[in-house]
Amino acid sequence: MDNYTPQRARMKRCLLLLAVLSTACCYGQQYSREITCGTDTVTGYSFYEPYPAFACTKVSGFGIRAEIGVSGYAYNNKTKQWLGNHFGGSLALAVAYKNFTIGFRFKPWTIRPKTDLAFGSDTLTPSAELNPIKLDYYVGYSIDLKHNISVEPYIGWTSSVFEVINEKDLHRSYDIQTANGLIAGVTLNKYFRISEFQFFSVFISTGYATTGFSKTNSRLGNGYYEGTFGIAYKGFYRMHFLRRADGSKKYH
């Protein structure tokens, strides 16, 4: 049986904290989604015919979220004996639609393996400089709380790609199979308003991936826990249009 109880206990405490916060009433990331119009009339044109109108704005349902952070990974004992638990960078970009996000995370780092491990006819030794790159494709939903705090659970697909960056120095060419699996977790954000529809965020997240490292090598185990601390930007597009003064129709 794999034994990484301390890491599992820490992750459970984080999830419990987020679960308690998620029971609060939902008021976070507060901004108005209503149409706002000026009080002064302007002149609009429809097929070159002028008409009196008001200049109006409204936030679009679509926006973007970009983030940068540092992640830590806790593998089970079999994988830990080879990779060791380690940290790494995390870059993410997502498209937001109202409270939903669809995004991609790129999590690179360079480590040296702890032990020898054979892949085909070649053995990867601790002298190798290995990039265990993680690529996440995920869907999330923002549960908005008071004081511009949000809890954002997510689920997706993750791939661990192994690249040896000093193959020339080792006089070897390695073909290490990519390991895939599901990933699920939750992110806690504290948002700070930049402008009416733009926010800066400090966040922490925790998750678990079912990545099948044993398919890469039978000596490895499956799955890992991860935690990330970072900062993010989230903003929504502001739409501008004219609305007829008589209220009959709006023109973009």
pLDDT value for 203:
98
Rounded Cα distance, 92 and 81, in Å:
29
- How many angstroms separate the Cα of 56 from the Cα of each of 1, 41, 146, 251? 63, 11, 28, 10
pLDDT digit of tens for each residue in the chain (252 aa)?
454 555 566 555 555 554 444 443 334 455 666 777 877 878 787 777 788 888 888 878 899 999 999 999 999 999 999 999 999 999 999 999 989 999 999 999 999 999 999 988 889 999 999 999 999 999 999 999 988 899 999 999 999 999 999 999 988 889 999 999 999 999 999 999 888 788 999 999 999 999 999 999 999 999 999 999 999 999 988 777 788 787 765 554
Q: How many domains does the chain have?
A: 1
Judged on CB neighbours under 10 Å (0-12, 13-18, 19+), 240 is exposed
pTM of the model: 0.77
Nearest residue to 29 (alpha-carbon basis) of 188, 139, 140, 150: 150
pLDDT value for 103:
97
Domain range enclosing 214: 5-251
pLDDT value for 102:
98
The enclosing domain of 15 has a CATH number of 2.40.160.20
Query: Exposure string (b/e) for 198-224, b if CB count within 10 Å is 16 or more?
Result: ebebebbbbbbbebbbeebbeebbbbb
Q: Where are the alpha helices (DSSP H) in the chain?
A: 5-21, 77-83, 167-170
Task: Please give the DSSP secondary-structure letter assigned to residue 213.
Answer: G
pLDDT value for 24:
39
